[in-house]
Structure 1
Amino acid sequence: MGEIFGGMPWWVKWVAVPLIALVVFGGLIASVVGFVFALLFKVLLFVALVGGVVYVVRKFISSSPSSRSKSRAEW
């Protein structure tokens, strides 16, 4: 790789080649980044919903009258 860019100016290696790669692979890069962000959002949404359900169930169980007579060891 060093022989190919050996006689070229620095801007060819550091500006022109990355710009060409961005133009050629830009759609692929954008779709991969979009997929990662969508997956991250779905994982965070899942964690928030599961946490909310656990919180509501614990609040409901702790406020019910029958739960006061039972010990936590039964669970």
Structure 2
Amino acid sequence: MREIFAGLPWWVKWVAVPVIALVVFGGLIASVVGFVIGLLFKLLVFVALVGGLIYIVRKFTSSSSSRGDW
């Protein structure tokens, strides 16, 4: 691979090739990044909902147990 780029100017190696790679694989990269961000957001919502549920259940069970048994 080094032999291919050996005679080329620096801007071809460091500018043109990465730009071509982004154009070719840009949609794939955007899809993967979007999927990861969506997954992290759903995970955050899940953790918040479970935490809220645990908080509500503990609040009601502690208040009902302090009133005594039926």
Same fold (TM over 0.5): yes
Counterpart Cα distance in 2 of 1:22 and 1:57: 50
Please list every run of 5 or more consecutive structure 2 residues that lacks an aligned counterpart in the other structure.
none
Identity %: 78
1:3-52, Cα deviation, whole Å (9 max, x unpaired) = 00001111111110000000011111101100000000001110000000
* Structure 1 residue aligned with 2:48: 48
Higher relative contact order (CA 8 A, sep 6+): 2
* Count of aligned residue pairs for this structure pair: 68
* Structure 1 residue aligned with 2:37: 37
Counterpart Cα distance in 1 of 2:10 and 2:62: 68
Counterpart Cα distance in 2 of 1:5 and 1:29: 25
TM superposition score normalised by structure 1: 0.85
* Structure 2 residue aligned with 1:6: 6
Please list every run of 5 or more consecutive structure 1 residues that lacks an aligned counterpart in the other structure.
71-75
* Structure 2 residue aligned with 1:58: 58
SS of 2:2 mapped into structure 1: coil
* Structure 1 residue aligned with 2:20: 20
Over 4 Å off, 4+ runs: none
